[in-house]
Structure 1
C-alpha cells in the first residue's frame, strides 16, 4: 500500500483481476490504422512507448463491422485477419508490464458515408443525427439487430485470441449502443424500442454475449468494462436517471468497471445547467450497493498528479489520462517524480515522442503543438463574460484567463438562454483550451455555432489584452510596432504570415471578417503543380513546360509570362512546403484545360479549402501569430512613398496605428462586389457569386490609393457548375472524376473538360441557361465532395438512368442513349462527339445515379494590382512601392483572361510564401 499517493495503490476488480495502480491510459483516437482498419507498426510502437509504469492501457475503439468506423484511420476487429495486428498491440503493452484492454464499438448513425464506401450508415431508426449535414441512416431490421449482437460477440472472441486482458464496451459518445438506449435516436416499435426496458435490451444483450465469449474462451480474470455518456442534451434524450437505471441493470449482470465519458472529471449536468453539482457526486449518492461494488473510472483534464489525486478524493476508483499521455509517453514516471507538466508538445519532438504522423495531424493533438521559442501574448488575469450569438443561439460564456493563457471556458447558467449546443460547446472548449487559442477547427456539423463561440472567446482575449496594457500604464490605442503586417487571412495571407514569422519577423494578421479563411476555405478541387514528388510516386509523367503552355493557352495568352514562369517553377516547392508544415496533398486528379493529372488534393479526396486552412491555422497557433478579427484597415500609411504601417479600426470602432516596414496585402478579389463587377463587365449583372461576402476588392482600392497600378481588371471568370439556390460551387473534381454535363433535353452538348469560360458559355447558350451534371456511384466514391453535396440536398438520385430521367423531367430514352454513347467513348478512350481527351475514367454505369442542376456564377477576378517577381507592388510607372507586397487574387496578370481550375490554390501558396519571405527580409534589414 502506497502511503505517499493513493494513485499508486493496486485495485482488485470484481472478477479478481488486479490492476497494479489506479492509472489508465484513456482510449484515444489516433487515426493511424490502414484503410481497411488493420494495425500499422507505428501504432504498435505508440502503445509500447506509453505502457509500463501506467497500470492499464485501454486501446482506442475498434469497429466490429465494416459499416462501423466513425472516423478516418480507425482500427478494426471486424474479421479474423485483424487478429495478428491487434495481437502485436496487446503483446507490446503487456511486455512493458501494463494491463491491456481493447475498446469495441460501432458508430451507427455517426458514421459518414465516405468512410464506408458511400454506403448508407445503419442505426436503430432512420433518423439522422441532430447535426448539420448528417446522413439519414438505414434502420436495422430485427434480424440485423440480432446479427449485430453476434458481431459484438465475435469481436470479443477476437480480442481474446489477440491476447487482450479485457474489453471495454463502448456505450457512449452517441455511437450505436447509446443510440439504441436513446429515445432520440431509437424510435422503434418492436422489442428493441419504445419503453426504457426495451431500449436497454441492446446494451444488455451486448454485455450478455460478451460474458458468454469470456466464459467460453478467456481466463477467469478477463476484464469486462462499460463506457457510458451520462446525459444527452437532445429532447427527448437520455437523462441521468436513465443512465443510473441502465448501469444498475448492467452491474447486476456483472461488470468489472464503468467508465464515465465526460470532458472534465467534475462536470455537472449539461441538461440542468442551474445545478453545479458534479455528476460523480450525484452518482455516488444514488447508486445501489450492487453498483457500488463496480469500480468507476473518471476522465477529463488530468495533467498532473494533483489532478489524479483530486479524482480519487471525489470518489473515482480509477483515473484515465488522455492528452497528457500523448504529450508525455512516460507521464506516470514524471508525476511520480512530482514534475509539474504543461499540456503542450514541442513542435520538433514528434519522432522522439513516438507519435504517429496521422495522430500528429489530428486536430486536438495538433493543437497542442507549439514552437517553444515563442512566448506568446499577455492578458490581464481574470474572468471575462461574453455573449455568443448565432442565428437562434443566444447565450453567455465566462472566459477565465491567466497572464499568458486561457484556463477555462464555461457556460453561464441562465434559463432564458438557449443551450442546445452543449455537446458542441464541450468539444470546442477542449480544442480551444489545448490550443490556447480560439483559432481552431469548427465542430463538424455545427460550423455556425462553433464560429460564434470562437468569436466570443476572441472578444474576451481582446478585452483582456487591452486591460493588460492599461494595467501596465499604457494606452491600448497607442501605436504598436510590428515587422510585417498581413492584411487578409485566406491562404495567401496565412502562408505569408507563417513564412515571415519563420524568417524571424514579428507578424500580425488583420482580418475584417469574423472568421479566418477568406475565400480559400471555399476552394474545392485542389492545387496544380508539375514535376512533384507525389506525381513521381504515382508514375505520372509531367513537365513544367507543358504546365506553362497549358496555363498560357487557358489564359488566352494574356498571362504575364514572367510571373507565370515563376508560378510554374515554384509550384512543386510549394507542395513540399505544405507537406513540411503538416499539410499533405498527395492524391492527384485533373481539371478542365489540363491534359495531365496535376491537381493535388488531400488523401481522402475532400475539398482542398477547409483542409488547407485548418492546417495553416494550426501552424499559426504553434507560432502564436497574432490575428485581429473583425478589424478593418482604413488605409496603408506611407511617408515619401515608403510604406510605414496601417491604420486599423476594430469592431468597437477603436482605431490605432500599427507601424511596420512591410505590409502584405492578401485580401482576395472582388467577385462579391456586384457594383465593381458590373462596372467592368455589365453583362454579368444578376449572376450569383461563389465567393464569400468579404471578397469586395478592398485591398485593390487601398493599394490604388498609394499609387499601385492594375492590370486585367475586366477579366472576370464565371464558373460553369454552381448550384444556384445556394451559390455553392460544385467542384471541378466531379467532372475530373468522370462526370458529364447534360442539357434538359437529356443530351451532352460540349466537352466537359474544356476551360471554364468555354463551358460556361455553352451552358448559357442552352435554352434553359442551365444544365445537369450527371454521375454514378463510381464517381461519387472517388470524390468526398459528392457526399457533401448529397448531405446538403443538392443531389437528385435514382437507382437507374430511367428513374433518374423521370425525376429530372427528362426523356428517358434520350438520357439512356446519351449515357450509352458516352460509355462507348470511355471504352474506346476517344470522344468523337466533343473531343474530350481527359478524365474518361470509367463508364457511367453503376447505380445509384446522381444529378445536380447547375448554371454559371461569378467565381474569380483575374485582374488586380501589378507586382514583380518578388511580389513587391508596382506603381503605375511599374516601379516598386517600398514596403508594399501582395499575393493571391488581389494580384493581376498571373492567370490572364481565364484561370485554370486548381491554379488559384497554387497561386496563393506560391506567392504567399514569396511575399512572407521577402517582406520579412526587407523589414529586418
Structure 2
C-alpha cells in the first residue's frame, strides 16, 4: 500500500499523529543559566508549530548536574513546570503535539557547565574526545535514583501539558553509555553481557511508562531515540542495537527514532557496506518491533526527500534544517514548493532563531548575492576555451624540502607534458606526486585535483608550478582550477590472497620486519595507507642508538653495556619502562644495527661520529648519512631488491580471525575501492603511534602541539582492541615531548631542534616571557622541557644575534622551515608562530612584550659570564661559553612544547606477541615499533625510537619465522 506523507498514524498509547512529519529536536542553547525557559525559546517553537504532527522539544536535563551543553533546558525541578507549561501551550495552540525529549549527559557532562561537578557514568571510562574528564562510576543507589529522575521528569512533562516524552538514548548520553561496551565495563547486574547492559534503558522505559499510568495521562506518547552504532572499539554495533530495540519493543512504546545525519546513512563501522541502515533494520526487526513506527531523520529538505524516505521504509520523518530555514516547511512541501537550501544572512530576526543556534547554523546561512556572483563566475570560467602559446616553460614551485624546478610543455590547446626535478625532494615520499598528479592534470586538463595523501606540500607545489606555467603560456590558471575534478571509478573488485606474513605500516619497524621476513624465506606482504614507504623516519632527523654494534666500536666506544643502557633508559623513562622489553632492546640493538648497515645498506655518519648527549653515560647515538631521508632512500632500494609485495595507498581495515581468537589475516582497501582479503599465518602491526588521534590522547597531550605525521591515528590499536580480540594497552597517557616547537597552524608544530643545537653551541640563549634566562641552554631536552612546562604560558624564546640567526636559518631547513617561512613569520609578528626582529635588544623586548631593561640585563649578564669563563647562574659548560651575544639585528623565536611520538600502545611480550586483557597471547598477532607500549616508559631518549623500531621489527619477523611452517634458507 502506497504511504502518504499526510496519513494519520495511530499509536499504541491510543494517541495518533495527524501526519508523518515532525520538527526534529535541535538545541537552541538559549535557556537561562539554571535551565529555566526563556521567552525567546517559546517564540522560536511557537513560530514553527501548527502543520507538523508534533514538535519534539530539544533535550531537557533531568538532573542539574547532567547538562551536556550550555544554555540547556531543564526539567529537573518542579519550579520549572510553570515555564514549560507556557512552552507546551504555545506549541499545542498552533495545532502540533508537544513532545519533550528528556536526557542526562552522563560522562558527556562538562564540569564547567555543571557547577564543577565530576560527571557520572556506568564506569570510570573517559569519553574519546579532547580533554574529556574521567567520570565517577555510579553506585547501585545512584542508578536507581537516576531511573527515578527520568520518572520525575515525565511527571513534570505531564503536569506542564506535554503530549509525550522522547527518552534520549542516543548521542552518547547516559542511556547509550550504559548500553555501550566502551563506556560500561561493569560486572554487576548493570553491565557485562549485552543483556545486562540493556537493563538500564529497559528500566528507564518501564519507569516512564509507570509514571504515565500513575498520573492517569491518557494517550500519553512515549518515544525512544537511539544511535545505531558507535565508532569506539569496543562499541555498539548494529546487531547490538537491534537486540536492544527488539527487547524494548516488548514494552510497546509509541515510536523509535533513529539519530543520524542522513536518513540514507549506511554503517559507520562497516564503512564499505553501502546498504542503508534502515533496510538492515527492517530485515532484522521482530514481529513486536514491526508494530512500532520508526522515525528517520537527516537530509530531508524537499518533498522528494521525504517521499523517498517513506519508500525506503520509514514511518515517521523528523526534519531539522527545513524547519530552521522555513518555519512553514510542512505547508510548503504540501503545496509542492521548493524549499531554500540556505537562510538569508539577514534573516535571523525574521526567523526568530536564538543567537547561539544561529551561530551554529553558519554553514547553512549565505549572502545570496555573493553566492550568486560566485556561481555565475564559476559558470563563466567553465565555458572559457583556453589557448596556449606552444612551448616549454620552466618554473619553480615550493616543495617539501626545497624549490622544485619544473618544465611544463603546451600545445596550442592542451597541457602536454609535466616534468619536475624532484632531486631535492624526499625520495619515495613524493614519487606518487610526480607520477599521478601530472597524469591527472593532463588527462582531465584541470588543476582541480586532490593532493596526494602524505605528500601535501609537494602536491601543492606541483599544482602551483603548473598554474604559474599556464600564466606564462598566456592562459588563465583560474579557468583550469574551475574545471571539474577528474572522475574516479570506484572499484568493487575483491581479491583473495595468501601470504606467510602480512605487515601493516611501512615505517622503520615495518620496513625492518618486511625485509627480515623476506630474507628468511617468508612470503611477505607490506601494506601502507600513504603514497610512500618510510613513515615518520623519512622526515626525521635520523638519529639512532647503536649500542653494542660494530659501528659503535669503530667510533671508539667499546665498553658500553646492556646494563648501562638499561639504567640510562630507566632514569629517562621515570622507571615506568617495561623491563623485559627494555632488556630485549638493549640486548639486540647492536646486532640489529649491524644488520641494518650490512644487509639493508643504510650508511651511518661515521665522519661526525657518536653524539655527546646528556641522557647517556656512554656515547651510543649515530646519525644516518643524509638523516632520515638517507635511511629511507637506502631502505627503499633494499625493498626493491627483495621479494616483498608492497601495496601503497592501501589501508588495513580489520583483522580476520578463526572465530576462536586466532588472527588469520586481514582485510584492506585500496584508495580505488579494491578490496584485499589477505589470509596469513601471522600479522605484524607496525602502524606507529596515535599522536594525531585526539580521541586516544589524554588531556595533557591534547594541549601539546603535534608535529608528527598526519597518519599517526592509532590504526593498530583500534584494530586490535575490538571485542573479539580484546587486546590491552598501557601507558597511553605518555608522549615524547620536546621543548622546541613553533606553532605553524592551530595545534600543529614544526621543530627548530636542528637550529637550536647549532646556535646553543655558540651564544643562543633561552629566555622566558619576562626576558630572563631560566636554565642552562645545553641541558638535556627533558630538563629544558620540565622548566618550559612550568611557564605560564608554556613558552620560552630562543634569542639570537645576527650571526647566529643565519646559522639557525640554514640548520632548520632540514626540518622543513624555509627562509621564506621565517621571513613571513617575522613580517606577521602578531600572529603565530611568534618571531621578532629588531635592531636593538631594547626594541626586541618591546616587540615581545617584555620589560626593555630585563632582556638587556640578561644578555649583559651572560656576556659577563663568557668573559669570566664560568656561568654562575646555570653552569653552562665551558666549551659552550666561548662566544658572546654579538651585534644585531637580534631575533627571538617561540619555543613551545611539541610531540610526535607516543609512549603507550599495545601490550606485547618479549617475543612481540600481542596480549589480550586476560594477559593471554593473541595467536598470530605481533606488534613492533611505536605501536608497542612500555619500552620507553614516560619518555624516550634521543635516537631510541628509531633503534626500537628497527630492532623490534627485525625480532618480530624472526619470531614469526619460528612459528610459520615453511621451508626456508637463512641467507
Q: What TM-score do you get using the length of structure 1 for normalisation?
A: 0.48
Q: What TM-score do you get using the length of structure 2 for normalisation?
A: 0.46
Larger radius of gyration: 2
